[in-house]
C-alpha cells in the first residue's frame, strides 16, 4: 500500500510453534545459497538458522554475546561480539568452543560494559559495525561506528557520540550510508555521502527525526527502490521512508518491539523481522521472528570481501 496510511498485513511466524521466544532477537541475514535465514538472540549468546522451506531450526551457543555478523564467500562466520571481531567455521549445532575462534580485531572501548551492536557489509564487502554501552539506562554516548575492510584492518571510529548505534544501511547505488541512534533520548536517522571506492563517509545530515513518528529507529533494510525500512521499536510497526526522507508506508506488526529487518526469500520479496520480548506485558508474538510479504523487493546482502581464517568447531 502506498501513501502515509497504516497498512495491516498478515505476517507468518517463521519458527516452529514449539520454539521459545527470544529475549533480544536481532540481525537477520538471508543466505541465498542455503535458502536459510540466520539471526541472533543477544543475551542468550545464540545464533539461529531456519530454512523456511522445511522449518528446520539449528542453533549455536557462543562463549560471549554475538550481536551482528556476516559470512565470507567460503561460509566462514565474521562475528561481532562483546570483546571484538572473530572468525569461526560453524560446525554441528551446539556449543561453540572458545578455543576454536580466531580473534581478528578489537576496538579500544572508552567505557566499561560495551559491546558491538548493529552491523552489516556494504555492497563492496566491507563490514561495518557499531558499539554501545550495553546498559541503555546509562544513556552513555561512548558508542562509535567502525569499518572492517577486506584486509582485516579495523578503522578508527568513523562516527562517535552514539548512545545506541543502529540502522545501518546502504543505498542500491552505494552513494549513501544510513545510520540511526535508537536510544529514547536520540531517536534519529542520519544519511552520509558514501565513497564506495574507499569506504569513506562525509556530509552527515538528518534523514529522519523519529520523534515525529511512533517508536524508535532500530535495525533497518534498504529495498531495491532505494527506500529505507526501519523497525519502529516500541512502535510495533515497520516504517518505509523514500530517499528524500518522506514516510510513504507503514506496516503494523503483532509485536511491540520489532528490532531489525532483512530482505530474503527466493525472490527477495520477503522482509524478515526479528523482535525483542519486553520484560512486562509481553504478548504471545513478542520475541519471535516473522516473514512479511510487503510487495517490494530487496537486494542480496554482500558477503565479506576478505578471506577469513578457517576455524573448525
**Could you tell me if 72 and 304 are in contact, meaning their C-beta atoms sit under 8 angstroms apart?**
yes
Tell me if residue 21 falls in helix, strand or coil. coil
- Roughly how many angstroms between the first and final C-alpha of the chain, as a whole number? 46
> How far apart, in whole angstroms, are the C-alpha atoms of residue 78 and residue 309?
10
Q: Is residue 63 within 8 Å of residue 79, measured between CB atoms? A: no
Check residue 298 and report its DSSP letter: B
Q: Specify whether 218 is catalytic.
A: yes
Q: Three cell numbers at 261?
A: 529487518
Q: What are phi and psi of 290, to 5 degrees?
A: -130, 150
Q: Residue 245 has which C-alpha cell?
A: 526522507
Catalytic residue, from 72, 122, 181, 218: name it: 218
C-alpha cell of residue 30: 538471508
Strand order across the 228-233 sheet: 6-8, 247-252, 237-241, 228-233, 216-222
Q: What positions carry a catalytic annotation?
A: 218
Amino acid at each position: 500500500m502506498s501513501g502515509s496510511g497504516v497498512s495491516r498485513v498478515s505476517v507468518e511466524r517463521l519458527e516452529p510453534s514449539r520454539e521459545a521466544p527470544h529475549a533480544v532477537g536481532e540481525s537477520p541475514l538471508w543466505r541465498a545459497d542455503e535458502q536459510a535465514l540466520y539471526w541472533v538472540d543477544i543475551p542468550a549468546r545464540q545464533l539461529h538458522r531456519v530454512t523456511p522451506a522445511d522449518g528446520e531450526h539449528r542453533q549455536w551457543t557462543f562463549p560471549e554475546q554475538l550481536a551482528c555478523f556476516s559470512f565470507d564467500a567460503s561460509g566462514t562466520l565474521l562475528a561481532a561480539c562483546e570483546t571484538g571481531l572473530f572468525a569461526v567455521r560453524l560446525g554441528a549445532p551446539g556449543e561453540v568452543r572458545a578455543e576454536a575462534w580466531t580473534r581478528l580485531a578489537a576496538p579500544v572501548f572508552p567505557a566499561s560494559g560495551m559491546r558491538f551492536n548493529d552491523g552489516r557489509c556494504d555492497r563492496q564487502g566491507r563490514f561495518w559495525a557499531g558499539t554501545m554501552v550495553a546498559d541503555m539506562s546509562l544513556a552513555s554516548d561512548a558508542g562509535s561506528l567502525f569499518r572492517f575492510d577486506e584486509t582485516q584492518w579495523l578503522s578508527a571510529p568513523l562516527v562517535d557520540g552514539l548512545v545506541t548505534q543502529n540502522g545501518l544501511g546502504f543505498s542500491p547505488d552505494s552513494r549513501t550510508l544510513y545510520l540511526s541512534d535508537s536510544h529514547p533520548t536520540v531517536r534519529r536517522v542520519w544519511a552520509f555521502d558514501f565513497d564506495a571506492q574507499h569506504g569513506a563517509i562525509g556530509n552527515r545530515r538528518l534523514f529522519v527525526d523519529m520523534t515525529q513518528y511512533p517508536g524508535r529507529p532500530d535495525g533497518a533494510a534498504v529495498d531495491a527502490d532505494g527506500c529505507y525500512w526501519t523497525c519502529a521499536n516500541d512502535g510495533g510497526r515497520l516504517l518505509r521512508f523514500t530517499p528524500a526522507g518522506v514516510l510513504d508506508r507503514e506496516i503494523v506488526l503483532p509485536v511491540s518491539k520489532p528490532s531489525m529487518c532483512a530482505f530474503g526469500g527466493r525472490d527477495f520479496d520477503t522482509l524478515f523481522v526479528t523482535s525483542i520480548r519486553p520484560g512486562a506485558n509481553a504478548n504471545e508474538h513478542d520475541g519471535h521472528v516473522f516473514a512479511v510479504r510487503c510487495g517490494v523487493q530487496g537486494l542480496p546482502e554482500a558477503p565479506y570481501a576478505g578471506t577469513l581464517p578457517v576455524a573448525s568447531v
